[in-house]
Amino acid sequence: GNSVTQMEGPVTLSEEAFLTINCTYTATGYPSLFWYVQYPGEGLQLLLKATKADDKGSNKGFEATYRKETTSFHLEKGSVQVSDSAVYFCALSFYGGATNKLIFGTGTLLAVQP
């Protein structure tokens, strides 16, 4: 079946450190890939997406590249801020199908210390 695997958290970093959150997927076919972020007490916000292999999604300094050969979509940021503290979810969906269903990973809590 289709699934998403994320690295276990929490990830604790100091401000201005480099961030990587690993995400790999298993899918039949060619999914689109997403990173969503959830701040405390809030819903999910789309952070970035990539719809085909080798696409790079980017937003607010975050980047992720769709790697078909390694079935990965790792999230990176060069210099994190305290305000980036949140839970990050990797997800996949199949465009062109008959549904907008998203399949999520378990989420990774990021805590950035000043």
User: In this chain, which stretch among 13-21, 57-65, 78-86, 105-113 interacts with other proteins, using CB under 8 A?
Assistant: 105-113
Q: What are the tokens at 113?
A: 């210390």
Q: Of the candidates 10, 61, 78, 97, which one interacts with other proteins according to CB under 8 A?
A: 97
Total residues in contact with other proteins, by rule CB under 8 A: 26
**Binding residues for other proteins restricted to 33-92, rule: CB under 8 A:** 36, 42-46, 49, 51-52, 89
CA–CA separation, 64 vs 55, rounded Å? 8
31 binds other proteins per the rule CB under 8 A: no
First-last CA distance in the chain:
41
Question: To which H or E segment does residue 101 belong?
Answer: none
CA–CA separation, 26 vs 83, rounded Å? 31
Closest contact distance (angstroms) between CB of 84 and other proteins is 19
Q: How many CB atoms lie within 10 A of CB 113?
A: 11
Question: Residue 17 or residue 30: which is nearer to other proteins going by CB?
Answer: 30
Closest contact distance (angstroms) between CB of 107 and other proteins is 6
CA–CA separation, 99 vs 70, rounded Å? 26
Q: What are the tokens at 45?
A: 């916000």
Query: Using CB under 8 A as the criterion, which residues of the chain lie in contact with other proteins when the complex forms?
Result: 32, 36, 42-46, 49, 51-52, 89, 93-107
